[in-house]
Amino acid sequence: MLRFIVKRIGLSVLTLVIVSLIVFLMTSIMPGDIAKQILGRDATPEAFEIWNKEKGFDKPLVVQYGRWMGGVLTGDLGTSLQYEMPVSEILAPAASKSAQLAIVALLLIAPISILGGIAAAMNRGKKVDRALTVGGLSAAVIPEFVWAVVLILVFGVAIRAFPVSAFPDEENPNLVSSVYHLILPSIALLFVLFGYISRITRAGVIEALDSDYMRTAVLKGLSRKTAVFKHVLRNALLPTIAVIATQVPYLAGGLIAIERVFNYPGFGNILLDAVIARDFPLLQTAVFLTGVVIIVFQLIADILFAVLNPRIRQKVTE
């Protein structure tokens, strides 16, 4: 098991190195001259040169990459060109905001989608199943920001049940208020992810329902309900857990549209700003960190899956 984990971590690190290279190269060749924007159109060529030198943009790319990575590893994430502030000071609060949104959304989405999937599987082919399937799929084809706007118009403006902004106005909002503000965006995300997660759950549950061991359980004399509870769910939810874990980075790593619509100062908002401002120290690091989140959660998903499944667990222990 340990060997498996070490191997997986090694692979993840390798992936991260590749990601960092790609991110770095992409932001370096991004069109538009940041210096022009910051120094103004009328600045002299000398001024540009001095500025570039000061920021180190005249050095070869390899050196720039080395400096950036060195910084990331030692905790120095560089300085934003746009705000003239350490990147870490900009990203930290945003990341915490994004994490809050992700957690609330996940706590809403995971149980509802899983229950939906189980309900569909247990009523396979019946009306409930069809309604859940069709409903889930149709909801998913509509982009999250459209849902966001619809939800705001209905619950924020017309009914006034929820605030239109995801971010409390108060100075020091308490937990209840923060969560309350995050419910509407979470529902928008639920609409997008429900179809997907419940489909996966449904497939897993149906496979387990049709399995020989389920037949054994029923023929032992367990009631169908108990048999489902004891024998089906554990096996059926394995793939679902992995799927949900892979959705976490999507939730945590910058829901640009949702954050915009709900006026929420999360990671996505910062990212968008950085692109528009060609603020590449900030952009590089923000995109790279998103990559880190994705890879770490994929890793967690894999390890979780292996721990929960004795067959894989044994294979990897041998």
Does 130 help bind another protein (rule: CB under 8 A)? no
Q: State how far the Cα of 107 lies from the Cα of 86, in Å rounded to an integer.
A: 33
Residue closer to another protein (CB basis): 77 or 242: 242
Q: Which stretch binds another protein (CB under 8 A): 75-83, 127-135, 239-247, 305-313?
A: 305-313
At position 131, the amino acid (one-letter code) is A
Nearer to another protein among residue 61 and residue 307 (C-beta): 307
CB of 217 to another protein, least distance (A): 7
Among 96, 138, 223, 263, binds another protein (CB under 8 A): 223
Q: In terms of Cα–Cα distance, which of 236, 148, 242, 241 is closest to 186?
A: 148
Q: How far is the CB of 314 from another protein (least distance, A)?
A: 7
> Which residue among 52, 88, 178, 309 contacts another protein (CB under 8 A)?
309
Phi, psi of 86 (to 5 degrees): -60, 135
Q: Interface with another protein includes 10 (CB under 8 A)?
A: no
Specify the stretch interacting with another protein by CB under 8 A; choose among 110-118, 198-206, 214-222, 287-295: 214-222
Site residues for another protein, 52-71, by CB under 8 A, read none
3-state secondary structure string, the chain? CHHHHHHHHHHHHHHHHHHHHHHHHHHHCCCCCHHHHHHCCCCCHHHHHHHHHHHCCCCCHHHHHHHHHHHHHHCCCCECCCCCCEHHHHHHHHHHHHHHHHHHHHHHHHHHHHHHHHHHHHCCCCHHHHHHHHHHHHHHHCCHHHHHHHHHHHHHHHCCCCCCCCCCCCCCCCHHHHHHHHHHHHHHHHHHHHHHHHHHHHHHHHHHHCCHHHHHHHHHCCCHHHHHHHHHHHHHHHHHHHHHHHHHHHHHCCCHHHHHHCCCCCHHHHHHHHHHCCCHHHHHHHHHHHHHHHHHHHHHHHHHHHHHCHHHHHHHHC
| Sole binder of another protein in the list 18, 58, 224, 307 (CB under 8 A) | 224
- CA dist 106 and 186 (Å) reads 8
Judged by CB under 8 A, which of 96, 138, 174, 314 binds another protein? 314
Does residue 307 bind another protein (CB under 8 A)?
Answer: no
127 is a site residue for another protein (CB under 8 A): no
Q: Is 277 in the site for another protein (CB under 8 A)?
A: no
d(CA 91, CA 89) in angstroms, rounded, equals 6
Q: Quick check: 311 binds another protein (CB under 8 A)?
A: yes
Selected from 230, 263, 276, 307, the binder of another protein by CB under 8 A is 230
Residue 211 binds another protein (CB under 8 A): yes
The binding track of 231-270 with respect to another protein, each residue x by CB under 8 A or -, is: x--xx--x--------------------------------
Q: Does 229 bind another protein (CB under 8 A)?
A: no
Q: How far is the CB of 309 from another protein (least distance, A)?
A: 7
Q: Does 96 bind another protein (CB under 8 A)?
A: no
Please pick, from the candidates 32, 49, 213, 263, the single residue that binds another protein as defined by CB under 8 A.
213
Binding site for another protein (CB under 8 A): 211-213, 215-224, 230-231, 234-235, 238, 308-311, 314, 318
